[in-house]
Structure 1
């Protein structure tokens, strides 16, 4: 399994709170809008697993971007699950 794979699987197994995900996503969509600026990826409708994996990688420091690392390190597993469920499509 890839590094962080157990952590990702554990987050994906949580029962997400979509309302909380909607609340949290308001911060994400200010930069990651449907028409995001160049270099900022659109995150809406990505597979939920892709969103979880990216946030876990930023949180662990395996993926580097100063702003995203700071944000991801503040997120708990339940928050990541809620965001992925709200923003993402079902895997």
Structure 2
């Protein structure tokens, strides 16, 4: 794989992780909106409501963690991209200066 192709792959992969983080963010927001009151469970009431809320809260936290981790993966890929890009540009300048007459 060429350097250019590798750099494009890093950018493309970072976008995929960003898209995944955005999807998880929307899912988390939807999950947060799914709160119910104990009365919404009719005669089953408190115990069922408590179990429902535990599962809903767990899923909201799980989606938040997923969003944070996938966003972090995208940031890490961009950091690698920027590091390599900076290294490549520095190498070009070093080679260019070695061929210039002083």
**TM-score, structure 2 as length reference:** 0.24
TM-score, length-normalised on structure 1?
0.26
**Normalized per residue, which structure has more helix?**
2
Q: Which of these two proteins has the greater Rg computed from alpha carbons? A: 2
